[in-house]
Amino acid sequence: MKIRRLTLEKFTSFQDAEFEFTAGVNVLIGENGTGKTHILKLLYVLGEAIRNHLLGGLPTSPTASTLAGQVEVMLREVFLAEGVGRLVKRVHGQSKAQIRCEWDNGAALEVIITKNGKVEARILPNETAFAQLAKSIFLPTREVISIFPGFVAAWTLRESAFDRTYYDLCNALSLSPLRGPRDAIRAALIEPLEQALEAKVLVENGRFYLHYSDGKIEAPLVAEGHRKLAMLAYLVMNGSLTDNGILFWDEPEASLNPKLALLTTETMFRLNQLGIQIFLSTHDYAMSSEISLIAERDGHGTRFFGLRRTPRGIEIESGATATSLEFNPILDGLSNLHDREQAFLAEDAEQ
């Protein structure tokens, strides 16, 4: 099942908004504070709340026995707001946030959040429509294999400044690699990552290591960008990135050298060929350009969303490529830098 459409009213910074997604790669672009991460987290919350409801409850919240309870817990633990009512856009008087998410088989989830924190949720047409809903994986801006040892137990037992996406990701990483030799598809995913790392990823006694030709090194001693690639490789190795699932990736370029943008982009498109729908946010010219170029060259289904803050709220436009967006702060920033460089060179030549 793929997410087809998201409609919002008075949710965080969004007065009213509608997103039409592709089954391929969906890219969110916008300045800081335009709600890119909020969209990724909300989509993750909605899908996982349904899965938790159908599976019988959240491990950390056994009292959340209703769908609305599952949504409330996921919103609170993923967004880390003081209360879910804080997610309602701040306007004068009484207001409520209304959310509708639709999937490609016609199934939908509708959610209402009031300012006082009450959550209502209903599935359309019925729960059976979500029988094929696959698990989602959310990759936050930083890697987690360096903090993996003991993280799940600590997060479960104590208050944490890490939101639930870190806990869920560590749970996904706790699974052992799949048995047997790698099939051709997964080998095509893992081997380019291992070549870039010049190492293989392994877990011993609950700790991550990278095994190089001259020995193994524990994950905290490895460069953070390489830890991100290692984390991605291991999620493929242990089957957490499954066929027909959904991957949410918040700023994949964080801590990665721009030279790795092509590898990261190619990995995402290979995952999409497995049937995995991709959602990501980015501020990076190399990343957005590589995605746009591959999409144009190979005909992959890709959609770019430009988010811009206005007095009324966040304005959204969409297009098939990065350059098709009228408002693209990545290109605007690059253009401004080029203009300043040319002005500096012109002044220097006159002296």
> Could you give the number of structural domains in the chain?
1
Please check whether residue 290 is in contact with residue 262, taking contact to mean a CB–CB distance below 8 angstroms.
Answer: yes
**67 domain residue, yes or no:** yes
Residue matched to tokens 């137990």: 153
Residue 58 lies in a domain: yes
Cut 0.85: pTM above it: yes
C-alpha closest to that of 281 among 245, 305, 246: 305
Position 334 pLDDT exceeds 90: no
Residue 186 placed within a domain: no
Is residue 35 within 8 Å of residue 305, measured between CB atoms? Answer: no
Tokens linked to 349: 């030549």
pLDDT digits (tens, 9 = 90+) for 261-305: 999 999 999 999 889 999 999 999 999 999 999 988 887 889 999
pLDDT at 193 over 70: yes
Strand partners, 212: 215
Alpha helices in the chain (DSSP H): 36-55, 67-79, 151-157, 164-173, 184-197, 224-237, 261-273, 285-298, 329-350
Residue 147, beta-bridge partner list: none
Q: In the 3-class helix/strand/coil scheme, how is 244-299 assigned residue by residue?
A: CCEEEEECCCCCCCHHHHHHHHHHHHHHHHCCCEEEEEECCHHHHHHHHHHHHHHC
For residue 175, is it within any domain? Answer: no
Range of the domain at 29: 3-135+242-350
Q: Quick one: tokens of 159?
A: 């208050």
155 domain residue, yes or no: no
Does 212 map to a domain?
Answer: no
Residue at 28 is within a domain: yes
Give ∠ CA 245-51-173 in degrees, rounded to 5: 55
Q: Is the pLDDT of residue 61 over 70?
A: no
Position 153 in a domain: no
Q: Among the listed ranges 48-62, 204-218, 289-303, 320-334, which one has the minimum average pLDDT value?
A: 48-62
- The CATH number of residue 267's host domain is 3.40.50.300
- The DSSP 8-state label assigned to residue 134 in this structure reads P
